[in-house]
Amino acid sequence: MLRLLMPPSVGVARAKARGELLESSLSIEMGEPVEVLVADDYARILRDVRDERVELVWAPSATCAEIEPLARAIWKTVREGRSEYRSALVGRVEARLSLERLAGKRAAWVDALSIGGYLLVRQHLVDRGMEPSSIFSDEHFFGTHPAALEAVLDGRADVAAVSVPGPDPEHVAQALSLHAGRGGAARLAAIAVTDPAPNDALVLTRALDVARAEALRARVFARGARGRLASLCLAMECEGFEAARDGEYARLRTLGARR
C-alpha cells in the first residue's frame, strides 16, 4: 500500500474531505491501494518523511527544501502553465495599507515553514530594511491560509500573507477567493507581491526502495512531461506535474534559516 500525506495548509477539514475522495480514484491511477493521510502541521510532514512513514507527500515548497535530500523524486505542480508561485502581503481594503504604513500593525502568518504564507513576505520586507519583528506589534501563526485571512477579515490582525500563482491582480484575486471566498476576497487588497519560488510538489520519499520508486515514476509520469494523475491534479488544483531540477529547492532553505 502507498501512503500519501497531504498538508494542512488549505484547512484540515477540507484536506480530509479531499483525501476521502482521493483514495479510491488514486488507487486506480497508481495501480495499487493508496491511503490518504492529512498532516496536523508542517513539522509532522518533516517527521514522517525522515522516519519513512509515508511513500508520497504533497509537500509545500519550504518542506520540499527540507526533505529534498531524502526524496527519490520531486514533481512540481503546474498551474496555469507555471511551476512557480509568489506570495502577496494583503490587508483590508478600507485600511489602505502600504509598506510605509506597516509600523505597529499585527501580522497573521500561516506557519513558520510556509513559503507563501510567511517566508517569502518576510524576506521581501527584510530586503527593504524592514525587520518584521521590529515593525509589527504582534505576529501569530494560524496554521492555514483560510485561518490567517479570517483573522484579518475579523479584525484580529491587520495583514496576512497568501500564496498567489502570479504577480498580477487577477492572480491575487484568484488566491483570495480560494481561501477567503468571494465576499472575503472583495474586502482584501494586496500591499506587495514577492519574487517567485518553485511550486509545491508531489514527493516520492525514501520509504520507497529505488526499484519501486522507479517503477512508480515510470508508470505514472513517463506518459508525458507533466504526468497524468487526474484525481490528484483535481485535489491539488493543478493541471499537471513537472520534474524538479536537482537542488531547485535548496535556496529556499536559506529563507527558513534567516527567520
What is the predicted pLDDT for the residue at 10? 56
Q: List the chain residues with pLDDT less than 70.
A: 9-20, 222-228, 256-259
For 218, the 3-state DSSP assignment is helix
For 249, the 3-state DSSP assignment is coil
What is the predicted pLDDT for the residue at 9? 64
Residues whose CB is less than 8 angstroms from the CB of residue 19 and which lie 6 or more positions away in sequence, other chains included: 4, 6, 36, 37, 38, 235
Query: Residue 130: what residue type?
Result: M
What is the predicted pLDDT for the residue at 257? 46
Quick one: which H or E segment has residue 57?
Answer: strand 56-59
CATH class of 84-197: alpha beta
Query: What architecture (CATH level 2) is domain 2-80+199-252?
Result: 3-Layer(aba) Sandwich (3.40)
What is the predicted pLDDT for the residue at 225? 42
Which residues pair with residue 90 across a beta bridge? 160, 190
Q: Which spans in 108-258 are helix H?
A: 120-126, 132-135, 145-153, 169-186, 210-221, 230-236, 252-257
> How far, in Å, CA of 10 to CA of 15, rounded?
7
What is the predicted pLDDT for the residue at 205? 96
CATH 3.40.190.10 residue ranges of the chain are 2-80+199-252, 84-197
Find where cell 517527521 sits: 47
Distances (CA, A) of 108 to 123, 143, 161, 208: 16, 10, 7, 37
What is the predicted pLDDT for the residue at 17? 65
Q: Sign of torsion, CA 46 54 238 227?
A: positive
What is the predicted pLDDT for the residue at 115? 87
